[in-house]
Amino acid sequence: MKILIAGGDGFCGWPTALYFSERGHEVAIADSMIRRQWDDELGSNSLTPIASLKERVSTWKGVSGKEITTFVGDLTDYDFVENMFRAFQPDAVVHYAEQRSAPYSMIDRKHAVFTQVNNVVGTLNVLYAIKEIVPDCHLIKLGTMGEYGTPNIDIEEGYLTVEHNGRQDTLPYPKQPFSFYHLSKVHDSHNIMFTCRSWGIRATDLNQGVVYGLWTDETKQHEKLYNRIDYDGVFGTALNRFCIQASVGHPLTVYGKGGQTRAFLDIRDTLQCVELAALNPADRGEFRVFNQFTEQFSVLELAERVAAVAKDMGLNPEIAHLENPRVEKEQHYYNAKHTKLMDLGLKPHLLSDDLIRELIETADRYKDRVDFSVIAPNATWR
Ligand code: USQ
């Protein structure tokens, strides 16, 4: 299969590109390199040192003998998108190329506008390129569990069957997202659904939870293949941040009470899920939605898990309850369905103490790279 990985230099995209390449698919990466510029803007960095995209793909060629094509450019530039689609003619596009941080989108007006323009326009351009150039191509779009928010009823996979005034219909599940970033993915979902209905596009919206972990079979093979891992208050996410904090002796930053419950998955399962979607494409005109996660945890539960492992390792972890910079429920009902990927054959890597230990050890190896001044959350929702 010819697979285009948009956002293929990022935390999920890079390991996905290697995973498909390893399995014999013809892979191309599209990336504007903007994730690296956000590090410069925020004065932050990846815990692990990361090679340039050029070095990454040439190292992969050396290690595996396999070629990955790269297209460096921005999806909001339609000339770039059009030329790339004409040159590569993908059978599937895995679309990660979005601004994916909720706090970044909430910094100020400029960052909110940037996030929504970047994400919504980039996806629209991909939809037009599919329609005009490769109408049979399957769009595998990374959405987010955060599109649903935290309703007081079970969360279904994309759709809810509703009875109203004696009539029944199956409708898109109501969306109550957490941030301007999460809203951008809601807007994407609506645009994609519309083009499935109007143009017969085939699409899968993967509503992914919070991804944790770092290492995959491929990224482990050479230090120039290492993946990035974020620990700062803007791009770092709950579990990975807690492991790195425990390792370097920073209090674990639970926001508020910590009863916020979210859906989580191991990065190795991200790769499996995307592969399952690619190998079992949506039909023409179908807008398919999968909830992509394996377990749900409250933030405090995760901090306690990490603290227990860290203690076992002889560390002295502390859990801090910081004033919550976000506007979100800190105690709520949460029960999200996630059977569709399991039905396709997903074999989950559930959260283990071994994985937490490995992350703490990785952070210890690179502790000199950790800048304490970027750990605190600085963007507020208010
Ligand atoms: N949180 C803390 N302490 C921290 C970091 C986060 O208590 O140090 C809390 C937040 O308040 C929130 C929860 O943990 O309640 C999750 O926050 P997060 O920063 O780990 O993840 P989030 O902002 O939700 O975004 C991440 C990814 C995003 C993806 C989303 C999936 O950055 O791209 O869409 O996870 S989901 O959470 O299901 O919406």
Span 251-265, pLDDT tens digits = 999 999 999 999 999
Alpha-carbon distance of 348 to 99, in angstroms, equals 27
User: CA nearest 75: which of 99, 91, 57, 109?
Assistant: 99
Look at ligand 1, atom 34, and give the residue with the nearest C-alpha.
144
Dist. CA 103 → ligand 1 center (Å): 9
pLDDT digits (tens, 9 = 90+) for 78-89: 999 999 999 999
How many percent of the chain have pLDDT more than 70? 100
265 lines ligand 1 (CB under 6 A): no
Dist. CA 137 → ligand 1 center (Å): 31
The tokens describing 324, both together, are 């919550």
Question: What is the reported pLDDT for 114?
Answer: 98
Alpha-carbon distance of 365 to 356, in angstroms, equals 14
Alpha-carbon distance of 94 to 81, in angstroms, equals 14
Alpha-carbon distance of 38 to 43, in angstroms, equals 8
pLDDT digits (tens, 9 = 90+) for 33-89: 999 999 999 999 999 999 999 999 999 999 999 999 999 999 999 999 999 999 999
106 lines ligand 1 (CB under 6 A): no
Question: What is the reported pLDDT for 378?
Answer: 87
Dist. CA 80 → ligand 1 center (Å): 32
Look at ligand 1, atom 4, and give the residue with the nearest C-alpha.
238
Question: What is the reported pLDDT for 137?
Answer: 98
Look at ligand 1, atom 19, and give the residue with the nearest C-alpha.
237
Which residues, 6 or more positions from 350, have their beta carbon under 8 angstroms from its beta carbon? 266, 294, 295
Dist. CA 178 → ligand 1 center (Å): 9
How many percent of the chain have pLDDT more than 90? 100
The pTM of this model reads 0.98
Question: What is the reported pLDDT for 138?
Answer: 99
Catalytic residue set:
144, 181, 185
Residue 216 has pLDDT above 90, yes or no: yes
The predicted model gives 314-343 an average pLDDT of 98
210 lines ligand 1 (CB under 6 A): yes
Classify the C-alpha dihedral 177-178-179-181 as positive or negative. Answer: negative
Classify the C-alpha dihedral 232-14-61-70 as positive or negative. Answer: negative
User: Residue 217: which pLDDT band, with cuts at 50, 70 and 90?
Assistant: very high
pLDDT digits (tens, 9 = 90+) for 277-289: 999 999 999 999 9
150 lines ligand 1 (CB under 6 A): no
Nearest ligand 1 atom, CA 144: 34
Question: What is the reported pLDDT for 212?
Answer: 98
Q: What is the mean pLDDT of the chain?
A: 98
243 lines ligand 1 (CB under 6 A): no
The tokens describing 327, both together, are 């506007």
188 lines ligand 1 (CB under 6 A): no
